[in-house]
Homo-oligomer: A and B are copies of this chain.
Amino acid sequence: MPVHVEHEQFQQIGERLLNAMDANNTERVQEILNQDLSAVDIAHIIESTPSKRRADIWKFLSESQKGEVISHLSDDLQLHYLTKMSPEQVLEAIQDLDSDDFADVLQQLPETNRIAVLHSMEPEDRREVEELLAYPEDTAGGLMNPEVLTIRANVTLDVVLRYLRRQSDLPDQFDSLYVVNRNDQLVGTLPLHALLLGDPDTTVREVMNSDIEGIPAASRDSDVAKLFANHDWISAPVVDEKGKLLGQITIDDIVDVIREEADHTVMSMAGLDEDEDAFAPVWSSAKGRAVWLGLNLLTAFIAALVILNFEDAIAMITALAVMNPVVASMGGVAGSQTLTLVIRAQATGKINASNYLWLLGREFGVGLINGFLWAIVTAFVCWLLFSNVQLAIVSGIAILANITIAKISGALLPVILEKLKIDPALSGSVILTTVTDAVGFFTLLGLATWYLL
């Protein structure tokens, strides 16, 4: 597999590919695809190419390449290509994949296509894959690869070494052997270096690492990712309720989980699908974004309706129309800082019953401090603009109230939403801005009506 250390270098090759395609220089294209680029690189180029041109690249790929490439594409693109292929083509394309990647790809297919592919498989391969498909994609079972090397505790390292030499090929990223009893229950692991360091005549039991617990197949993938990060694992065994060894999870799958989690937070805070294809055609992109905009229009109107009740105030002091968005936007930003902080703390498992109240109080304090600071500044600027002391005071108080309430809302929302099984990263920001807008408008215009008219 070729290695492209520098991002720039990789981009140059990508552009040479597109140029060769424009020039219809078939040999050149073939050469670049087969020699200069790995399957991962090709997947990356396809994802970075406007939808129309993707088909051109796809045509040049060999069946075996297609499988490798598909396994590295984002879910929606996998579906796009797989649904265009016959069950036989799909099978031929993905047959060389590790069975966990194989299962992940099948999981993208619609029920009927998936069954068709499974039917065209050898019985025992098919059984293995079906077992994998039984686990949800986002669990340890969905991440694991059933191909593991198991040994017994009572054999000597020398026997193990000879056994390994007889293996035709070993799982990739294979750093330890799993020791099981006669019921296939995990009793320990034998790291390769222990195998190498140990005296050939010692038994596995003497050198194996036996204080390891297997990961239950039902564990959430995010929990598994935390374990890998915390314990610097390269691979870990997966077991069922009875402690029976089912397979192993390797670090490469974990890196994907971490990347996806990150994408999810960033993208969903802007109301985008974490898997949103950056180069999807206009129409499908427009559809994807419309829902969120519609939701925001609804909430924006709800917030703006508050203004309706104060038309007299605005008619008399049009300066209020100027201060309105200022007060609202300060609340919005102050709230989103807290919202983001709390959502990240949730994602990294740093929030629990014992520290949450403290956090809430801290944000209240932060709100008061920043509220007072910016209330004074706002009042001053407002006075400069309109040389109206009462209006300046009212604006200042409105800023103080809105920032403080925004901080508290930002800290409460994610926890409430999680309790309601609603994703805070997705819905938090739109709800928060509605609150901060409404509170902002209400405090400013309400105070003005009561105090200035």
A289 and B197 within 8 A (CB): no
B-chain residues with CB within 8 Å of residue A228 when the two chains form the complex = 255
A173 and B232 within 8 A (CB): yes
B-chain residues with CB within 8 Å of residue A430 when the two chains form the complex = 333
**A25 at interface by CB-CB < 8 Å:** no
B196 and A330 within 8 A (CB): no
A340 and B269 within 8 A (CB): yes
B-chain residues with CB within 8 Å of residue A340 when the two chains form the complex = 266-267, 269-270, 272
**A110 at interface by CB-CB < 8 Å:** no
Complex Cα distance, B111 from A369, in Å, reads 33
A272 and B234 within 8 A (CB): no
Binds B, one of A26-34, A79-87, A125-133, A370-378: A370-378
When each residue 1-19 of chain A gets 1 if its CB lies under 8 Å from chain B and 0 otherwise, what string results?
A: 1111111001100110010
B278 and A300 within 8 A (CB): no
B-chain residues with CB within 8 Å of residue A267 when the two chains form the complex = 340-341, 344
B344 and A18 within 8 A (CB): no
**A115 at interface by CB-CB < 8 Å:** no
**A24 at interface by CB-CB < 8 Å:** no
B-chain residues with CB within 8 Å of residue A377 when the two chains form the complex = 294, 297
Binds B, one of A57-65, A163-171, A415-423: A163-171
Q: A175-B175, A223-B7, A232-B172 are in contact. Are A297 and B374 (CB under 8 A)?
A: yes
B-chain residues with CB within 8 Å of residue A305 when the two chains form the complex = 322
**A385 at interface by CB-CB < 8 Å:** yes
B165 and A196 within 8 A (CB): yes
B-chain residues with CB within 8 Å of residue A10 when the two chains form the complex = 349
B-chain residues with CB within 8 Å of residue A352 when the two chains form the complex = 11, 14-15, 48
Q: A281-B362, A293-B403 are in contact. Are A329 and B341 (CB under 8 A)?
A: no
A354 and B289 within 8 A (CB): no
**CB contact between A325 and one of B164, B226, B325 (< 8 Å): that residue:** B325
Interface residues on A, range: 35 or more
Binds B, one of A89-97, A116-124, A180-188, A212-220: A212-220
**A314 at interface by CB-CB < 8 Å:** yes
A272 and B341 within 8 A (CB): yes
Complex Cα distance, B230 from A409, in Å, reads 40
When each residue 297-325 of chain A gets 1 if its CB lies under 8 Å from chain B and 0 otherwise, what string results?
A: 10011011101100100110011111111
Q: How far is the CB of A77 from chain B (nearest CB, A)?
A: 12
Most chain B beta carbons < 10 A, residue from A6, A172, A300, A320: A300
Complex Cα distance, B162 from A161, in Å, reads 14
B282 and A365 within 8 A (CB): yes
Q: How far is the CB of A7 from chain B (nearest CB, A)?
A: 5
B-chain residues with CB within 8 Å of residue A270 when the two chains form the complex = 333, 336-337, 339-341
B324 and A370 within 8 A (CB): no
**A221 at interface by CB-CB < 8 Å:** no
**CB contact between A50 and one of B40, B173, B358 (< 8 Å): that residue:** B358
Chain A residues at the B interface, C-beta cutoff of 8 Å: 1-7, 10-11, 14-15, 18, 38, 40-41, 44, 47-50, 161, 164-165, 167, 170, 172-175, 192-193, 195-199, 211-213, 215-216, 219, 223, 226-232, 234, 251-252, 254-256, 258-259, 261-263, 265-267, 269-272, 276, 278-283, 285-286, 289-290, 292-294, 296-297, 300-301, 303-305, 307-308, 311, 314-315, 318-326, 328-330, 333-334, 336-337, 339-345, 349-355, 358-359, 362, 365-366, 369-370, 373-374, 377-378, 381, 385, 403, 430, 433, 437, 441
A-B contact pairs, 26 of them (CB 8 A): A5-B213, A44-B350, A49-B355, A50-B358, A164-B197, A175-B175, A175-B192, A192-B192, A266-B340, A278-B342, A278-B351, A280-B362, A282-B366, A282-B369, A283-B369, A286-B365, A286-B366, A286-B370, A293-B370, A293-B403, A296-B333, A297-B381, A300-B329, A307-B321, A315-B315, A315-B318
Excluding A6-B219, A278-B342, A300-B325, 7 further A-B contacts by CB distance (< 8 Å) are A3-B231, A7-B223, A251-B255, A270-B333, A286-B365, A290-B369, A308-B322
